[in-house]
Every structure is written in structure tokens, then in C-alpha cells.
Amino acid sequence: MAEPLRYRIVISRKAEKEAEHITPLHRDRIDKAILSLAADPRPHACKKLTHKEGYRIRVGNYRVLYTVDDQAKAVVIYRIKTKGKGTYR
């Protein structure tokens, strides 16, 4: 059986800073969701962003925004925010 294609996870500095302010309980759930993107960068529950390039997944009240580079086999996480007016800007 062939090994599934794995994507490399890249987290931007801005997303790292935002993650520092998240409680450990929520952080664990977000970390698991991000790691699962390595095996499936476009899971069934992801949504394609309309005003910007990329996708989002929902983890509780948080949104993880990311882009997928199929050429480089990389998933780039660029925002981790609670849902609100400024989330998708």
C-alpha cells in the first residue's frame, strides 16, 4: 500500500503570535486540527475563502486560515483567530 502524500506544515510568525494567547485546552485542539492538514489539506469541513486566496477550518470558536501550495507540498497557516468582524481581513 502506498504512503499517502504528506504536506509540510508552515506556520507564519503572525499565526504563532496569535496562538500564544489561546488557552492550553483550545490550543491542543487547534494543534491536532493543524497537524491533520498534513495528510488532507482540504478536508470535507474546510471552506474556501471568497475574498482572499486560501481556506479555513473551524476549531470550536476559532478559525484557522491557511493556503495550500500543491507544487511545494506545503500548507501555510497564516491566521488563528476567534470568529469576528476582523477574522478574514
Q: How many Å from the N-terminal Cα to the C-terminal Cα in the chain? A: 42
Q: Report domain extents, the chain.
A: 8-82
Q: What is the mean pLDDT of residues 50-79?
A: 94
Q: Return the higher-pLDDT residue of 87 and 79.
A: 79
pLDDT at 85 over 80: no
- pLDDT tens, position by position, 25-43: 999 999 999 999 999 999 9
**CB 10, CB 74: distance < 8 Å:** yes
CA distance 69 to 20: 25
- The band of 89, judged by pLDDT with boundaries at 50, 70 and 90, is low
pLDDT at 6 over 60: yes
Specify whether domain 8-82 bears CATH 3.30.2310.20.
Answer: yes
pTM: 0.86
